[in-house]
Amino acid sequence: MSDQPWSVEQFQVPEEPGRDRFHDFALPLHLMRAIADLGFHYCTPIQSEVLPYSLSDYDVTGQAQTGTGKTAAFLITILTRQWEYPSVKENAPGTPRALVLAPTRELAIQIEHDGRDLAKYLDTHIVSVVGGMDFNKQREQLTSGPVDILVATPGRLLDFINRRVIDLSKVEVLVIDEADRMLDMGFIPDVRRIVYKTPHKRSRQTLFFSATFNDDVMRLAQSWTLEPVHVAIEPENVATETVEQKFWTVAATDKARLLAELVAKQHLTRVMVFANRRDSTRNLHEYLRKHDVSCEMLSGEVPQRKRLATLDRFKRGKIQVLVATDVAGRGIHVEDVSHVINFDLPEDPEDYVHRIGRTGRAGATGTSISFVSENDAFNLPAIEEFLGQAVVCTQPET
């Protein structure tokens, strides 16, 4: 924690009609200083809707895509609560005050990083436990002292619980992030076991987020929350306002060549490319490298340590093109992604919105280009219906 004097007067944000400032929520001074450092001036729609209730200890179910600012919403809630109600007696090591469950390692690690950024002037101990990372190092972090916020993927968390390294009986705030993806990945039995290890829902605050709320997700939300306030941010409002969407008609055999030409001719420097299958990702990665494109890939077959190093290099602008599958690309937060390329159109229209949400963030503009071949055309009607607008396919512009 820094001892340098700082006051909120140093963080001037003018009032604007219809927009909420973080100043308007009476947040702790040290948290406001971190928010100022991050350059957050006005709340995103999900933050404006969630924070009035979550800061008042209500349970919340929030419908929002990745990239809408929901991570900051629940982290600000947790940090404010822990500041206002410090522990009278420190919990034993491995006994967190707040638990955040995420479906993928990448998302969990991103949440941990965001938490550290927001808690940089607070005495908050944040730990993440995820599969594919050094088990003993994570054990050391858990046992070295009290844990304020634990971010975890379900499998590794249960492993530590079964070894009696983690005790969830003192959890005050439970966050379940991307519940629909948990459902898709088959994690719900594990998540259910974990939730039952925490205090009863009457004795904890629960913040439950999902990009979609179908019947299965609704049942989970009803089981794990108590009279929640439901907040919904429609995906159209998130995905399409700041993203120029293009659909190019292209033969399946010409896709890789067209992508390499596009990157070279337009001098693109920070591009995310999505393919539907691991083998497509691997083949495209090899093709682009052979054609002198600075490229790396993210998929389930890439070792975790390399995936994290690759993501870090992409964030620092050392890689032009990142080729990813949907699961590997979920939860990635990278500033200034200029283009998202759908090398394959996703079979699930919600994945289309998740993908193009990688660009056009934080008020910036971005471009998404979807390659539509004879194999992809079958997926267009569902995307049109989901977006609520017709898709016009044109010839490539390279």
Confidence band of 237 (pLDDT split at 50, 70, 90): very low
Give counts: helices (H), strands (E), the chain.
16, 14
Q: Which residues is 298 bridged to in the sheet?
A: 324
Please write the tens of the pLDDT for every residue from 203-226.
Answer: 999 999 998 888 999 999 999 999
Looking at every residue in the chain, the average pLDDT score rounds to 89
Please write the tens of the pLDDT for every residue from 136-160.
Answer: 999 999 999 899 999 999 999 999 9
**pLDDT at residue 236 is higher than 60:** no
**pLDDT at residue 330 is higher than 70:** no
Confidence band of 241 (pLDDT split at 50, 70, 90): low
Cβ atoms of 225 and 206 closer than 8 Å = yes
CATH 3.40.50.300 domain locations along the chain: 8-233, 237-394
Please write the tens of the pLDDT for every residue from 43-73.
Answer: 988 999 999 999 999 999 999 876 778 999 9
Cα dihedral value 65, 70, 71, 77, nearest 10: -160
Output the pLDDT for position 238: 45
Please write the tens of the pLDDT for every residue from 13-44.
Answer: 998 888 899 999 999 999 999 999 988 889 98
Cα dihedral value 114, 354, 22, 84, nearest 10: -50
Q: Tell me the C-alpha distance between 380 and 25, whole Å.
A: 43
| Domain 8-233 CATH superfamily | P-loop containing nucleotide triphosphate hydrolases (3.40.50.300)
Q: Say if domain 237-394 classifies as CATH 3.40.50.10470.
A: no
Q: What single letter denotes the amino acid at residue 219?
A: R
Token code pair at residue 247: 């659909």
